[in-house]
Structure 1
Amino acid sequence: MSSGVRSKAERWEQRVQLGAHPLLYPAIRGLGSIRPVVRLPGLGILVSEAALVREVLMDSQRFIKNGPSGSGALWTPVVGPKALVNMDGAEHRELRRKLADLFTPGSVSAIVEPAADSLHDRLHHGLDAGGHVDLVDCVKELAGGVISRLLGVPDDAPGRLPNRELFNLGSSISSLVRLGRPTLTERQIAKGRSAVGVLAGPARAAYRKSDSQTFPGRLRALGMTEEEAMGIVSAFVMVGTETLVSFVPRLIALLADSGRIEGLVEDRSGVPSAVNEALRFTVPSPMMLRDVVSPCTLGGVAIRAGDRLLLSTVHASKSLGGFEPGIPIPPHARQLWFGAGPHFCIGMPLAMAEINATLSLLLDRYARHPWVVSSRQVSRGVLIPGYRRLELANA
């Protein structure tokens, strides 16, 4: 791949980052390049080196997720105290152990395949008609279809909300978070609870039916109370929506801009490496938060109990270099975008199934009828960087 083509791919990805955070992104990248650990008055302590980020994530004794300014604590007023994302310690480990069987390859396929079938129909209908297809909107539909499965809603259920509306509800919860906001306001909590209430309606019905074919029914079979099950369902809905819709269009744009689509069409063995490198380069979870509970030293900087750590996965990952599938990722940075240690993303198999299903559909389509990225627009002023619109058209 020529340097000119490579720079096009990376130039667009930088526009995505700057669209979301025109001041904060260059500041974080600049500070991370100077020092691996730096105290930012009013915000917390920025940790930018991959090995140090992993060290923090692996140590749940000194650094916790459910502290007063950690990301987990933000969600407790909205989804309840036992939603996995806001738990630590032995109780958290036990809940993860119970949930592990819900994310086997077979289980996630049953959740993703119906939504992928709808995505297939929409992509082909739009492109076969000779028009344009907005991939961002398509992935929102896919995410909404997955949400409906997590809620246990049959496709033919009377009054079933459209997939896009389900996505919007999930997105309305996750969009409440801001880096400079350690807590949610009463109004934001009320907004989040309202969305959770709408989503929880069908999930409660599925739970009460004890149908083992539904996600809420399986949670009941694991011994979860109804409120615990609703918290877990709500957490999976809100955590996975924005990051998936951010990543998939950026993945396709990177592959198209770097001229790698045709190679993957001819040889699918390169798909895992391309997806993993795109995750590393785009970093769909650009920042993670932890609270310090005991004093220590990190990267030569004294850390006090009560400090808030800003774990810059975006710098830790991007500082490794440009988009180059096939080059091994150093062990200390591997899968850092999914976390590490006790809070490594339990929904990773589900996210990967959605990503791979979408990419497979687009590669299959390209093999029969090549397509191009015809136009795009980056999102501005959002927490998770991404494209607002990414249109595909027949070549």
Structure 2
Amino acid sequence: MTRTEINAAARHERRLLWRGNRGLYALLEAARHTGPIVRVPRLGWVVTDPVLARRVLNDHAHFTMAGEGGVGHLWTQLFGDEMAQFFGGARHAEIRTRARDLFTEDSARALVARSQGPHHEALAARLAAGVTADVADAARVLAGRLVADLLGLPADRPDAAYRDVFAAGERLAGLAMGTAASTVLAPGTLARARAIVTELTTGVDEGYRTAGPDTLLGRCREMDLGLPLTRGLATLLVIAGTETGASGTVRTAALLHDTGQQRALLADPGLMANAVREGLRVSTPAPVIGRHVAGDTTVDGRTLRAGDRILLLTYLATNGAGPFDITREYVPETRQLWFGGGRHLCLGAAVARTQVARMLETLLAAGRPYRVVSRRASSRVLVPAYAELRVQIPR
């Protein structure tokens, strides 16, 4: 891995951030030159240190998702007060406990194999034959198939249906792009968001009635969560499971190529877990996490007051460890901050890691390095991503 390769990879990542959300890009660039926690006019408190960010995520007495500034506040406006109670109440812990077996390492491997396996095999065969393939498109479709399987929705639809679901998810996430200063949605924005939710949750009502107990909708029915809350959870899963999942998968594939480290991975497949962890660390698909300050507290000598907002710039917090390097040892300060922390740590972490690993295995299945022949960053999206990443295996 040369300095030129490291710089090239960093340029591509910066371009993704710039094209996706220029406001976010400007905030991240400015925050590189501040201390670990600083108060920014109109935004609230901004944290760039991984240890402090984890402290906030684990302090549920003083920081909440549900109040203004917290990411859960957006969902509460869409789905009502029951959703706010869910984010901070006993039902949240209950559903995580009842659904945990669906997200173990073994369950993740079975889910990815079942929902994506044949498609990965077909992609590997096309690449081995010298065909150019769009990894970004493949990741969007595969993420949609995985989420449909997990929820208990029909997973045998044509690829175009999953592209439509992904596009709807991008539109819904994009409505939150202007909420850095306030998470209060204007009436017009809220109406557009609810229309998209209706589109995204097509089939959820039927799935709620008929899905088996080994699916998330089936578990919601068994717990008598009710359809409104179930629709909210299904929407949350669609966004988290498709937007961030596809972003992390494709950006990791690009980082592996841009830094020249796919050769090291081909030589030592035992580095796969490191490659996945590094890809998710450097890409950090959820680059910002918002929280509402529920009670007066002190963080790193700064006094935060009830009603304040706090933004955890996870992208900066995780990237402080250095550039993408699949030989890097585990960094305890960052841990898995790209998956959040505390009781809201991403339940699908094992699924995300398995998705990334399976795509990398597919790209390297021919035993030769792949080459990125063209790429295009997504514009005006909440989750930085590639709209297109076309790869080929030279013969």
Tell me the TM-score normalized by structure 2.
Answer: 0.90
- Whether the 8 Å contact between 1:148 and 1:166 is mirrored in structure 2 is no
What CA distance in whole angstroms lies between the structure 1 residues aligned with 2:323 and 2:344?
A: 27
String of CA shifts for 1:260-289, please: whole Å, max 9, x gaps: 112212321101111111211121111000
Map of 1:254 onto structure 2: 255
Contact persistence 1:73–1:86 (CA under 8 A): no
Of the structure 1 ranges 7-16 and 220-229, higher mean CA displacement relative to structure 2 is found in 220-229
Structure 1 counterpart SS, 2:11: helix
User: Counterparts of 1:287 and 1:233 in 2: how far apart (Å)?
Assistant: 22
Deviates more, 1:131-140 or 1:6-15: 6-15
In structure 2, do the counterparts of structure 1 residues 82 and 363 end up closer, same or farther at CA, with 3 Å as the change threshold?
A: farther
CA distance in 2, matches of 1:114, 1:162: 18
Contact residue 204 and residue 216 of structure 1 kept, 8 A: no
Matches within 5 A, 1:189-338: 189-338=190-339
Counterpart CA distance in 1 for 2:205 and 2:354 is 26
After superposition, residues 156-167 of structure 1 pair within 5 angstroms as 156=156, 162-167=161-166
Which residue number in structure 2 is paired with residue 371 of structure 1?
A: 370
CA, structure 1 residues 40+172, in 2 after alignment: closer, same or farther (shift >3 Å)? same
- Report the Cα distance in structure 2 between the residues aligned to 1:223 and 1:249, rounded to whole angstroms: 37
- Superposed CA offset, 1:55-84 (max 9, x none): 111101001111122110101232454558
Give the Cα–Cα distance (whole angstroms) in 1 for the partners of residues 10 and 105 of structure 2: 33
1:172/1:113 CA distance change after superposition, 3 Å:
farther
Deviations 1:207-254 (A, max 9, x none): 212533543223323443333333222211122221122221211111
The letter for the 2-side match of 1:243 is T
Q: Which amino acid aligns with 2:340?
A: G
Match of 2:18 in 1: 18
The alpha-carbon deviation at position 306 of structure 1 amounts to 0.6
Q: 2:48 maps to what in 1?
A: 48
Q: 2:92 maps to which residue?
A: 92
- What is the distance in 2 between the residues matched to 1:316 and 1:274? 19
Instruction: Identify which range, 244-253 or 18-27, moves more after superposition.
Output: 18-27
8 Å CA contact 1:140–1:245 kept in 2: the answer is yes
**How big is the alpha-carbon RMSD for the aligned residues of Structure 1 and Structure 2?**
2.6
The alignment partner of 1:332 has SS state of coil
Going from structure 1 to structure 2, the CA distance change for 1:269 and 1:334 (only over 3 Å counts) comes to same
**Could you tell me which residue of structure 2 aligns to residue 359 of structure 1?**
360
Q: For structure 1, list consecutive stretches of 5 or more residues without a partner in the other structure.
A: none
- Does structure 1 residue 172 correspond to structure 2 residue 185? no
Shift of 1:47: 1.1
Listed one character per residue, the Cα deviations across residues 61-111 of structure 1 (whole Å, up to 9, x for unaligned) are 001111122110101232454558961143432332222122123433443
Pair 151,327 (structure 1): closer, same or farther in 2 beyond 3 Å: closer
CA contact under 8 A between 2:144 and 2:166: conserved in structure 1? yes
Read off the aligned partner of 2:140 and give its amino acid letter: K
CA contact (8 A) 1:81 1:87 kept: no
Q: Which amino acid aligns with 2:144?
A: G
* Deviation, structure 1 residue 175: 2.3
The runs of at least 4 consecutive aligned structure 1 residues that moved more than 6 Å come to: none
Looking at structure 2, the residues matched to 313 and 168 of structure 1 have their Cα atoms a distance apart, in angstroms, of 25
Aligned 1:63-74 pairs, distance under 5 A: 63-74=63-74
- Distance in 1 between residues matched to 2:164 and 2:31, nearest whole Å: 39
Pairing of 1:114-125 with structure 2 (within 5 A): 114-120=114-120, 123-124=123-124
Q: Which amino acid aligns with 1:286?
A: P
- In structure 2, list runs of 5 or more residues that go unmatched: none
Give the superposition deviation at 1:385: 1.7
Distance in 2, Cα, partners of 1:324 & 1:292: 36
| Offset, 1:393 | 1.6
Distance 1:22 1:214, change over 3 A: closer
SS at match of 2:90: helix
Matched letter for residue 171 of structure 1: E
Secondary structure of 1:333's match?
A: coil
Q: Report how many aligned residue pairs link the two structures.
A: 392
Further displaced range: 347-356 or 266-275: 347-356
Matches within 5 A, 1:76-115: 76-82=76-82, 87-115=87-115
Alpha-carbon separation, structure 2, partners of 1:270 and 1:254: 15
CA deviations 1:108-141 (Å, max 9, x no partner) are: 3443224323532552465366442111111111
Deviation per residue, 1:314-349 (Å, 9 max, x gap): 111122222222323432311111111111111212
Q: Deviations over 1:340-387 (max 9, x none)?
A: 11111112122222222212211213x1x5421111122333222222
Structure 1 pair 201/383, CA: closer, same or farther in 2 (3 Å)?
closer
Q: Does 1:383 align with 2:360?
A: no
- How far apart, in 2, do the equivalents of 1:27 and 1:172 lie? 22
Residues 30 and 198 of structure 1: CA distance in aligned 2, closer, same or farther (over 3 Å):
closer
Letter in 1 for 2:92: H
Q: 1:290 Cα shift?
A: 0.6
- Using the TM superposition, give the Cα deviation of residue 51 of structure 1 relative to its aligned residue in structure 2, in angstroms: 1.1
Q: Secondary structure at the match of 1:162?
A: helix
SS at match of 2:365: helix
